[in-house]
Amino acid sequence: KVVYGHHGIYSYGTHGDTADLKQSLLPILRNRVQLYLFGHEHIVQHLKPEDGIHFIDAPAGGQKARPSKSGPMTLFTDSFWGFVALEYDADRIRVEMVDTEGEVRYRTEIR
């Protein structure tokens, strides 16, 4: 299952974590959802899963990309314009972060 929102629950971007979402949304998603996708930070992040949820910040689509930052939960981070492509079946979600030149800059599978 994939849930998307504008603000990140966890983030190492300019805005950081969203306390309200940690308190109200995260308990509902725990052990029910495999991916929480967001884009508020205008950077690229894949954060370690917590209670089965991976956290992915999609690349900046139309706004200026901001400098990327790392933290203890970081699996991948970068800064570029692009998009996230999801391909899924019953066993996995394949995630590709693609830049504006069509190059896959990061790829992972969530089982």
Residues involved in catalysis: 15
Query: Are the beta carbons of 84 and 25 closer than 8 angstroms?
Result: no
Query: Are the beta carbons of 77 and 70 closer than 8 angstroms?
Result: yes
Q: Which two tokens stand for residue 97?
A: 């972060």
Q: CA 28, CA 4: separation in Å to the nearest integer?
A: 14
